[in-house]
Amino acid sequence: MSGTYLGMPSFPKAAKDAVHNVTLRANLRHATHTIRDKRAKAVAELEDWALLREAGKQIKDHTLRHLDRYLEQLESAVTAAGGTVHWAADAEEANRIVADLVKATGESEVVKVKSMATQEIGLNEALKAEGISAYETDLAELIVQLGDDRPSHILVPAIHRNRAEIRDIFERKMGSWGRPAPDGLSDSPAELAEAARLHLREKFLRAKVGISGANFMVAETGTLVVFESEGNGRMCLTLPETLISVVGIEKVVPGWRDLEVFLQTLPRSSTAERMNPYTSMWTGTADADGPRTFHLVLLDNGRTGTLADEVGRQALRCIRCSACLNVCPVYERAGGHAYGSVYPGPIGAILSPQLRGIQSEIDVSLPYASSLCGACYEVCPVAIDIPEVLLHLREKVVDQGGKGHRLEKTAIKAAGWILDHPAALAAVEKTASGTRGLHPGRPPGAGAWTADRELPELPAQSFRDWWKKNRT
Partner 1 sequence: MSTETGSRDRILARIRAAVADAPDAPEAARDYLDSHAPDDPAAILDLLHENLADYRANVHRAGEAELPALVAQLLAAHGARSVAVPDGLPAAWLAAADVVRRTDDGLLTPYELDAVDAVVTGCALAIAETGTIVLDAGPGQGRRALTLVPDLHICVVRAPDQVVASVPQAMPRLDPTRPLTWISGPSATSDIELDRVEGVHGPRTLEVVLLRD
Partner 2 sequence: MRVALFVTCVNDALYPATGIATVRLLERLGVVVDFPAAQTCCGQPQFNTGYRRETVPLVRRTARAFEGYEYVVIPSGSCAAMVREHYPKFGETALPARTYELTEFLVDVLGVTDVGAYFPHTVTYHPSCHGLRSLGLGERPRRLLEAVKGLELRELPGAEECCGFGGTFAVKNSDVSAAMGQDKVRGAASTGADVLCGADNSCLMHIGGILRRQDAPQRALHIADILASTEEEPLL
Question: Interface with partner 2 by CB under 8 A: which residues?
Answer: 11-12, 15-16, 19-20, 25, 329-330, 333-334, 367-375, 377-378, 391, 393-399, 408-409, 412-413, 416, 419-420, 422, 425, 429, 432, 448-449, 451-456, 458-459, 461-467, 471
Burial 119-136 (b: 16+ CB within 10 A, else e): bbbbbbebbeeeebebbb
Interatomic CA distance for residues 113 and 99, integer angstroms: 16
Grouping H, G, I as helix, E, B as strand and the rest as coil, residue 180 is coil
Q: Which residues 37-56 are close enough to bind partner 1 by CB under 8 A?
A: 45-48, 51-52, 54-55
**In the 8-state DSSP scheme, what is residue 249?**
G
Q: Which residues 86-145 are close enough to bind partner 1 by CB under 8 A?
A: 86-89, 93, 97, 137-140, 143
Angle at 311 between CA 307 and CA 312, to 5 degrees: 50
DSSP 144-163: HHHTT-----SS-TTTT--H
Q: Which residues 277-296 are close enough to bind partner 1 by CB under 8 A?
A: 277-283, 286, 288-290
Q: Which is nearer to partner 2, 106 or 447 (CB)?
A: 447
Give the H or E element holding residue 193: helix 189-206
Does 274 bind partner 1 (CB under 8 A)? Our answer is yes
Q: Which residues 294-353 are close enough to bind partner 1 by CB under 8 A?
A: 298, 300, 304-305, 307-308, 310, 313
Do residues 156 and 31 make contact, with C-beta atoms less than 8 angstroms apart? Answer: yes
Question: Helix 189-206 crosses helix 139-146 at what angle (to 10 degrees)?
Answer: 90
Provide, rounded to whole angstroms, the least separation between the CB of residue 22 and partner 2: 11
| Partner whose binding site includes residue 189, from partner 1, partner 2, none (CB under 5 to 8 Å by kind) | partner 1
Q: Which is nearer to partner 1, 18 or 35 (CB)?
A: 35
| Partner whose binding site includes residue 371, from partner 1, partner 2, none (CB under 5 to 8 Å by kind) | partner 2
Q: Is 243 exposed, middle or buried (0-12, 13-18, 19+ CB in 10 A)?
A: buried
Provide, rounded to whole angstroms, the least separation between the CB of residue 419 and partner 2: 4
Upper half-sphere CA count for residue 364 (Cβ side, 13 Å): 17
Q: Which is nearer to partner 1, 159 or 351 (CB)?
A: 159
Please give the single-letter amino acid code of residue 401.
G
Provide, rounded to whole angstroms, the least separation between the CB of residue 3 and partner 1: 20
Residue 250's nearest CA partner among 352, 117, 391 is: 117
Q: Which is nearer to partner 2, 100 or 395 (CB)?
A: 395
Stretch that binds partner 1, among 120-128, 266-274, 341-349, 377-385 (CB under 8 A): 266-274
* Binding-site member from 200, 244, 366, 380 for partner 1 (CB under 8 A): 200
Q: Which residues 416-455 are close enough to bind partner 1 by CB under 8 A?
A: none
**In the 8-state DSSP scheme, what is residue 3?**
G
* # chain residues binding partner 1, by CB under 8 A: 102
Strands 109-112 and 216-218, by their bridges, are: unpaired
Provide, rounded to whole angstroms, the least separation between the CB of residue 116 and partner 2: 24
